Structure 1
Amino acid sequence: MSITIVVGASSGIGQAAAIRAAEGGSGVIVTYNSNKDGAAETVSRIQEAGGTAVALPLDVGDSATFPAFRTAVEQALADTWGAQKFTGLVNNAGMGGGTLFADTTEEQLDHFYSVIFKGPYLVTQALLPLLDDGGAIVNTASNSAGTAGLSEGYSAYGSMKGAVIVLTRYLAKELSGRRIRVNSVSPGPTRTPFAGGAFEEFPEMTAQLVQRTALGRIGEPDDAGSVIAFLLSDGARWVTAQDIEVAGGFNL
């Protein structure tokens, strides 16, 4: 039985990944922080399509809550699927926003660290005993951690996403003995709630991004969600320690 936990699935890429995983036959545990209604929508869409899903609250920025979250996951696995293990983990929760390096405060830096890197690191650690051997982990990174096409204002965000990519490789190495595959995806400019309507509000900026994208449009959540679901699936059984850029040829 395939069961996937998608951390941060109340909207955007996480929601798309959860729905795609369910379409592939997986049961899904979706997590949310403030957007409970969005998580309920994700669950509803999966159920309407004949799948099984439940939603659990999780604040990725508060590691003190992770032991209780693990207990809640154990309960959900038992109650919903009669299972003790899950097979896939997607670390997708995050935050947007950019500030120039000179203006970034220590508080902002700490917040990026706790949500983008520390949170996924410790959530994965807490859930690892429940992840079945032969399972898969997918971490959402960003092409802002790349070596070309960078935009000013993302030094903190991009650095933390870069750390996620490095962590992915180390996890792939250390968990290979359990045949657990670990990969990351790095979306480019994508129309998610993190963008806050910026693509519509600033059409000139959007046109510039489209012009820099080989395939000629802004990314949509399902572009990345579909790749995440593939990396979780048996079709990607021989893929590990990879970062897959999902950016339509941005800055190609």
Structure 2
Amino acid sequence: MTANETTGGRSDVRRVAVVTGGSRGIGRSAVLELAARGVDVVFTYCTNAEAADEVAAEGREHGRRVTALGLDVADVDVLDSFVDNLRVELSDMGADRFDYLVNNAGIWHTASFTDTTAADLDRLYAVNVRGVFFVTQKLVPLLRDHGRILNLSSGLVRFVFPGKAAYAVSKGAIEPLTRYLAAELGTRGIRVNTLAPGATATDFSGGVIRDDPNYRKRVGDITALGRPAEPGEIGSVVAALLSDDMRWINGERVEASGGMRL
């Protein structure tokens, strides 16, 4: 992004991003990449305040205002108070609106189709689907006209790994939601897209992709580029999709998997 990549092409508006689930993994990389590109960031965390403080401190090293707010996206009853807290943060930044929403917060689940319980599916749906739906619903009034929304799906919606059915179903629901949001918010010039990462070396799923050499090899064997992604590589895609360079991309699913199972 450049200094002129503000919504509506204005350089006098402070650019602010809201990132859910920004204290770890891909969310963390997105927060830091956006800060490095001159964007102020408010990000959410669910339980680990210490990790969130570390991310905020690292983001501020880029000279931007980076703050963390606690939020369980599955708890719709706290969303109004979260919006109130966000308004305070925006006011402290000298803004009354924000420019970019990254719906990244999500949870993982591994179990065979036959072993997945109703409780498993309900929890996945509460965080990965209902959370995205209602967080966006609550925040759209604070999003600037010509702002951007990026929803995180998964490469597992396209390609199959046994034991990931429930997770993939929950992420798959995000993709039609993106298209509907793009259609309904287009009158305000708001652009909405889906990013579907492939295997990424984070602490997700117990850090198996990051820490297990055998698992990394398995991923590499089915990936055209021969390895899983590093978190910063996905963070840079997040920032790119929010930038004006991608301003005519709308309602689309972009996969960042290095070419898994082509």
TM over 0.5: yes
The CA distance in 1 between the partners of 2:113 and 2:243, in whole Å, is 39
Aligned match of 1:108? 120
| Equivalent residue letter for 1:141 | S
Tell me whether 130-139 or 154-163 shows the greater mean CA deviation: 154-163
- The answer for the alignment partner of 1:15 in structure 2 is 28
Provide structure 1 residue ranges, at least 5 long, that are not aligned to the other structure: none
Does residue 152 of structure 1 match 2:162? Answer: yes
Residue 178 of structure 2 is aligned to residue 168 of structure 1: yes
In the TM superposition, 1:73-92 aligns within 5 A as 73-79=86-92, 81-92=93-104
After superposition, give the CA deviation of every residue in 1:114-143 in whole Å (9 maximum; x if it has no partner): 000000100000011000000000011001
Paired position in structure 1 for 2:56 = 43
- Normalising by the residue count of structure 2, what TM-score does the alignment of the two structures yield? 0.92
Q: Scaled by the length of structure 1, what TM-score is found?
A: 0.96
**Structure 2 portions without partners, runs of 5+:** 1-13
CA distance in 2, matches of 1:223, 1:13: 9
Q: Which amino acid aligns with 2:98?
A: F
The change in CA–CA distance for 1:179 and 1:18 in structure 2 (over 3 A counts) is: same
Aligned-CA RMSD value: 1.1
Q: Deviations over 1:44-99 (max 9, x none)?
A: 111112111111000011111111101110011002x1211000000000111211
Letter in 1 for 2:102: V
Is 1:203 the equivalent of 2:213? yes
Q: What is the match of residue 62 of structure 1? A: 75
Name whichever of 69-78 and 44-53 sits farther off. Answer: 44-53
Quick check: 34-43 or 105-114, which moved more?
Answer: 34-43
Q: Structure 1 stretches (4+) deviating beyond 6 angstroms? A: none
Hey, what does 2:10 align to over in structure 1? none
The equivalent residue for 2:251 is: 241
Q: CA deviation at 1:199?
A: 3.2
Number of the residue aligned with 2:107: 95
* Residues 134, 181 of structure 1: 8 Å contact kept: yes
Instruction: Give me the whole-angstrom Cα distance separating, in 1, the residues matched to 2:248 and 2:82.
Output: 31
- State the match for 1:125 in structure 2: 137
Query: What is the aligned-residue identity percentage?
Result: 42
Distance, in Å, in 1 between the alignment partners of 2:95 and 2:214 is 51
Note closer, same or farther for the CA distance 1:89–1:114 as it changes in structure 2 (3 Å cut).
same
For residue 38 of structure 2, what is the aligned residue in structure 1?
25
- Separation in 2 of the partners of 1:28 and 1:21? 7
CA contact (8 A) 2:17 2:99 kept: yes
Q: What SS is found at the alignment partner of 2:41?
A: strand
Kindly indicate whether the alpha-carbon contact (under 8 Å) linking 2:202 and 2:209 is maintained by their aligned counterparts in 1: no
CA contact (8 A) 2:223 2:259 kept: yes
Task: Answer whether contact 1:185 1:224 (CA < 8 A) is retained.
Answer: no
- Distance in 1 separating the partners of 2:185 and 2:211: 44
